[in-house]
Structure 1
Amino acid sequence: MNKIAEQVADDTFQTFLGVPHCADVAKAEADIAIMGISCATPYLEAEAYGLANLAGPKALRKAAERLGTMHDRFDWDTGTHLLQDSNGRVVDIGDLSVNFYEAAKNRTVIKEAVELLAQKRTTVLALGGEDSIPIPMLQGLGSYEDVTVLQIDAHMDWRDSYLGETWGLSSGMRRASEMPFVKDIIQVGTRGPSSGGDIEVRDARAWGSQIFTGEDLFDKGVQPVIDAIRAETNLHINFDLDGLDPAIMPAVWVPAPGGLGFWPAMKLIRGVAAKANIASVAFVEYVEARDPSGMAATTAVRMITAFITEILRNRTKHR
């Protein structure tokens, strides 16, 4: 078995939505490859946060089990059948072999897996997991040469370092800005006390990051965000679940009032998928311990399913 994608190898492994299982990244031939990634570079001095996110991939797969039996059902949220015509076009790689205390190795494993899939122009959809995962995911997208980062997040993540770590979740957009193939950064839902101060805000604006605050979204909706994306660019979408309003997504570590509601988020997914090629999506910061009813996981799964549907719907157009 390919060590890049080592996961549970017995009959208990349940793929996301019941799609086919492909254990070897190198052999994946699909439009979309789903993979679980629990961590990359967690802050060891803030261990509780990172540990809280480790159950994310398993919990999101569990929440998708029921939908896995409904591939023939009409999905009113997307206007088509659930996973219509997905025959082999979507596979689940399993969970990448990462370890909470081996950050450098984790980054290599994630980057190499994404690189293999990016070279085939397979969209990578990551189930997370803590929010440093997108950094090595982005590093793996270099073969696209022109990448736009769309960050949905309550926090701006422009710190150069935090707790002595430069690859952690507070530095995601700063590290993205240093990658030569990242041409645009669009940040959506920023609100409340940010993960940074005047220096970070100044540097983000000086680089050219386009920031749409939570209040901007309330006043004008998501269409200005869609309009800001260059047509046919290659998108990496960093979907931090605290970018959603805690009324529908309480299961995060740092909830902040005023985020995206369900329908604005779905309209954003639909709009960006129609306008640009989605190269990768990272769903991060789901905290199972804060979701006793399971409703937050169900909400996340509906959005992941919408991404899958819209990517497949628009795939031919963006080739």
Structure 2
Amino acid sequence: MSAMTPPSMPMLGSTDLDTFMGVRQAKISDALDCDIAIFGAPCATPYGGAPEYGAANLAAPQALREGIKMWASANDRFDWDLGERPLVGRDDRVVDLGDLATHPATPAENRGLIKSTVDRIIAAGAVPFALGGDDSIPIPMLGSLKAKEEVHVLQIDAHIDWRDHVGGERYGLSSVMRRASEMSWVKGIVQVGARGLSSAGFEEIDIARKWGADLFPAQHIFDHGIDDVVRAVPKGANVHVNLDLDALDPSIMPAVFVPAPGGLLYWHVAKLLMAVAEKASICSFALVEFAPSRDINGTAALTAARIASLAMGSILKSRYVGK
């Protein structure tokens, strides 16, 4: 053993803690005192005719925690991407509530549990941050945001999710933005990253545009960067971020159920989240669609978890740094 590496010194920032980035553990029944409350949501409303969609994501929350575990005690280090410490030295203001007891066979109960959890987090003045799980999870989360009175949605996704139903199911992953558009407190929807063959048809795209959604396909980002997207988010607005990991290119994010070539890269998403956190108020965040069985060597989990960490750091930076 080298004298420079004593036995008690962990390599990198590794830790035995099972929470995301080693933050303190809490229970939803606790009197929450935090700025960000993380919770795992393995599923919400999987499609009954395609159970493999829901099953692919069930282990996602813990896989994402494991993905960044090597840096979980490094909150005193310098994060070059954020330009600060990973959680700006305020990791005491972040808690991990663990995973909700959702089950693919109980979609209505899942939605109720997610909504009641987010209700409690918002009532405590904190930002709910979901690790998931299929992309139907944001529907009940958005329901809780009625408490904010006015909300704008930033969806980063390869698909626009405006289908009214799939096989009669109105609360599945293909209908998230359609359900959001029906909530009177949702005042705007900005959608980034659509590409490839669409689950939506001409009718859904037309409905989205007539509603007023701002659509920025992935090709627009590659041609023009993120500035137009940032301009579309109103200054000071409450923003729910819906990050479906299939928005990222499969070269860096193979661990999704429907990969599509030509996706966004790490810096597109990182710079977009940092800019939105600086311009507006991220009041809710859902990171979804991680499929652990398709993670080739763990780098997809690390990439997704780094983006989550960067988002949390950006929220805290907007609250504490320079104030």
The residue type paired with residue 285 of structure 2 is V
Q: Does the 8 Å contact 2:244/2:289 carry over to 1?
A: yes
Q: 2:139 aligns with which of 113, 120, 135?
A: 135
Is 1:270 aligned with 2:271? Answer: no
Take 1:84 and 1:217, find their aligned partners in 2: how far apart are those partners?
29
Map 1:90-239 onto structure 2 (within 5 A). Answer: 90-239=94-243
- Per-residue displacement from partner, 1:39-94 (whole Å, max 9, x unpaired)? 00000110111100101001001112111121121111111122232142100011
| C-alpha contact (below 8 Å) 2:39/2:129 kept by paired residues | yes
Give the aligned CA root-mean-square deviation in angstroms.
1.4
Equivalent residue, structure 1, for 2:5: none
> Is residue 263 of structure 2 the alignment partner of residue 259 of structure 1?
yes
Tell me the distance in 2 between the aligned counterparts of 1:109 and 1:61. 21
Q: Which moved more, 1:207-216 or 1:61-70?
A: 61-70
Alignment of 1:29-108 (within 5 A): 29-108=33-112
Change in Cα spacing, 1:51 to 1:193, as seen in structure 2 (3 Å) is same
Determine which structure has more spread, i.e. the larger CA radius of gyration: 2
Q: Distance in 1 between matches of 2:318 and 2:82?
A: 13
Query: Which of 3, 28, 32 is equivalent to 1:28?
Result: 32
Unaligned runs of 5+ in 2: 1-15
Cα offset, 1:195, TM superposition = 1.6
In structure 2, the CA distance between the partners of 1:217 and 1:293, relative to structure 1 (3 Å rule), is: same
- Unaligned 5+ segments in structure 1 are 1-11
Deviates more, 1:308-317 or 1:247-256: 308-317
Q: Is the 8 A contact 1:110 1:137 kept in 2?
A: yes
Structure 2 matches for 1:287-306, cutoff 5 A? Answer: 287-306=291-310
Structure 2 distance, partners of 1:248, 1:279, is 27
Q: Hey, what's the Cα distance between the residues in 2 that align with 1:132 and 1:86?
A: 31
Pairing partner for 2:251 from 247, 256, 261: 247
Distance between the aligned counterparts of 2:140 and 2:247, measured in 1? Answer: 21
How far did residue 143 of structure 1 move? 0.6
SS at match of 2:276: helix
Cα offset, 1:316, TM superposition: 5.3
SS in 1 for 2:97: strand
Matched residues, number = 307
CA distance in 1, matches of 2:97, 2:34: 11
SS of residue in 2 equivalent to 1:41: coil
Offset, 1:26: 4.8
Do 2:157 and 2:193's aligned partners in 1 also have CA atoms closer than 8 Å? yes
- Structure 1: which amino acid aligns with 2:216? F
